[in-house]
Structure 1
């Protein structure tokens, strides 16, 4: 048993020593950077290029299309409430909004000026009140 513990201890110390010795300080030249003297004084780097701007613009346009699509969504009874709308930020109190009292396991949601009554168990839309 002592021999096994000694072997494990020696193996771990050898492994740790090898990792520590291989991790040394690096300079920019070690990484293959070729900086001129003018670049060394400029600490603020610009990592974004023109391609990144195009990607950001496409992402913004896609998000805007998604928001417009969600705003035009027509709710119907019997449909399942999408997961996106089931958060607490869409829930409303029926008393404050002059809505009928929901039954047990039902919740009112306000989405795009529509009040939607949803069954909490199945997430089916029960009723829709437009304001």
Structure 2
């Protein structure tokens, strides 16, 4: 019986000590041979360049949307469908919109949009 307990204790000790090696970090060093960082720090040295390029792309997109030519029948871009562009027709002396229609003010243009399919119904420039 004493041998059984000794074997049980030794085997459980071996088992638990080997399980600890599985819980270690995936990489022993922070940098591999190519200089790439591993672990929790995901930032790269060129992160500022990427952020600058992304900002420039977004600004170009906004400029393109500002130059957009509105035309009846076109679908209004999703960028302008938010509540920030919706206006009340009474406050701006606009005709009353029909059922399922909403007025939007975009770049000093008043645009009447069908809410069901987001198609432009009417454009009034002031």
* Fold match by TM threshold 0.5: yes
Q: Return the match for 2:101 from 92, 101, 106.
A: 106
Please tell me whether residue 80 in structure 1 is matched to residue 75 in structure 2: yes
Structure 2 equivalent of residue 33 of structure 1: 29
SS at match of 2:84: helix
SS at match of 2:122: strand
Count of residues in Structure 1 that have an aligned counterpart in Structure 2: 100
Runs of at least 5 residues in structure 2 that lack an aligned partner in the other structure: 1-15, 31-40
Structure 1 equivalent of residue 85 of structure 2: 90
Indicate the structure with greater helix content.
1
Kindly report the root-mean-square deviation, in angstroms, between the aligned alpha carbons of the 2 structures: 2.8
- In the aligned structure 2, how far is the partner of 1:84 from the partner of 1:54? 26
Q: Return the match for 2:118 from 107, 113, 123.
A: 123
Larger CA Rg, structure 1 vs 2: 2
Spell out structure 1 runs of 4+ moving beyond 3 A. Answer: 21-24
Query: Deviation at 1:31?
Result: 4.1
TM score, norm. by length of structure 1? 0.64
Once the two structures are superposed, what CA deviation does each residue of 1:82-114 show, in whole Å capped at 9, x if it has no partner? 222222111110011111111111100111111
Query: Deviation at 1:33?
Result: 3.0
Structure 1 equivalent of residue 4 of structure 2: none
